[in-house]
């Protein structure tokens, strides 16, 4: 059976390097630099895969609080594959890492077009991008410290649903809400924290009124002819007034 050796550099002529910036006890900012010419359009798909693989490897290898794409030596004119690179996900069970990018005229215009301006993400100098990434990391840490214990998910179950179906509905509701909002910063913070949930029993009228509030998923039960049995609301720290008065499910 023939076996072919695979090398990342066979995908793309781009090259990369890594470095780390940290001032005192401040945030650790990983710098991922790319050099070369990103091919136009779909021809650049291998370049995007190369950049994405390199970025994921770097984030898995080095511990950091934020990271910067140093693209000053990258020529990029167009190609949607770059969007996957700059929006690369990190640990799905943790808050997304803050990131910024340092750009030059070789790629700035195309990235501004791709990212609709890129305000707060694109910077003309590497030191500015590093400072901005470190500031974002500090702000995120402060928010996490402030909100981690306050985040909670509300699950509303119709009081007409039997207790057996209610238990199943609550489990399905929690999971469905998480999967639906797994990319959200607050949800990932909630998952990595104490995972607080408030389960309430509501009337049919309260159930329908609650559906007017945003960021919820509806749970149906196949054994009850696909009847709507529960609502799960994305974790947050502040809730509309009616949520204070729903009856806790006991």
Domains in the chain (CATH in brackets) are 8-145 (3.30.750.24), 152-248 (3.40.1490.10)
DSSP string, 42-81: GGGHHHHHHHHHHHHHHHHHS--SEEEEEEEEEE----TH
Neighbours of 184 (CB within 10 A): 17
pLDDT tens readout for residues 163-216: 888 999 999 999 888 888 877 777 877 877 778 899 999 999 999 999 999 999
Is pLDDT above 70 for 162? Answer: yes
CA 83 centroid distance within chain: 14
- pLDDT value of position 8: 82
* pLDDT averaged over every residue in the chain: 90
DSSP state of 245: G
Given pLDDT bands bounded at 50, 70 and 90, which one contains residue 116? Answer: confident
How many CA atoms, within 13 angstroms, populate the side-chain half-sphere of residue 51? 28
1-36: buried (b, 16+ CB within 10 Å) or exposed (e) per residue?
eeeeeeeeeebbebebeeeebeeeeebbbbbbbbeb
Longest dimension (CA), the chain: 68
pLDDT tens readout for residues 3-50: 988 888 889 999 999 999 998 889 999 999 999 999 999 999 999 999
Instruction: Check the CA dihedral 169-175-181-184 and report its sign.
Output: positive
Structural contact between residues 202 and 247, judged by C-beta atoms closer than 8 angstroms: yes
| 31, β-bridge pairs | 19, 68
């Amino acid at each position: 059976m023939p076996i072919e050796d695979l090398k990342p550099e066979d995908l793309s002529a781009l090259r990369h390097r890594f470095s780390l910036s940290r001032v005192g006890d401040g945030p650790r900012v990983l710098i991922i630099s790319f050099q070369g010419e990103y091919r136009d359009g779909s021809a650049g798909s291998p370049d995007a895969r190369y950049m994405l693989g390199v970025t994921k490897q770097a984030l898995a290898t080095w511990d950091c609080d934020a990271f910067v794409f140093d693209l000053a030596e990258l020529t990029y004119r167009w190609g949607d594959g770059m969007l996957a690179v700059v929006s690369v996900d990190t640990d799905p069970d943790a808050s997304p890492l803050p990131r910024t990018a340092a750009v030059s005229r070789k790629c700035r215009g195309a990235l501004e077009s791709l990212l609709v301006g890129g305000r707060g993400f694109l910077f003309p100098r590497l030191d500015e991008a590093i400072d901005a990434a470190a500031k974002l990391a500090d702000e995120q840490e402060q928010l996490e410290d402030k909100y981690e214990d306050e985040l909670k998910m509300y699950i509303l179950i119709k009081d007409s649903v039997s207790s057996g179906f209610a238990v199943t509905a609550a489990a399905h509701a929690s999971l469905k809400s998480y999967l639906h909002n797994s990319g959200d910063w607050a949800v990932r913070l909630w998952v990595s924290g104490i995972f607080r949930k408030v389960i309430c029993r509501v009337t049919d009228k309260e159930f329908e009124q609650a559906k007017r509030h945003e960021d919820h998923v509806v749970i149906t039960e196949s054994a009850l002819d696909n009847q709507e049995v529960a609502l799960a609301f994305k974790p947050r720290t502040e809730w509309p007034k009616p949520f204070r008065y729903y009856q806790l499910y006991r």
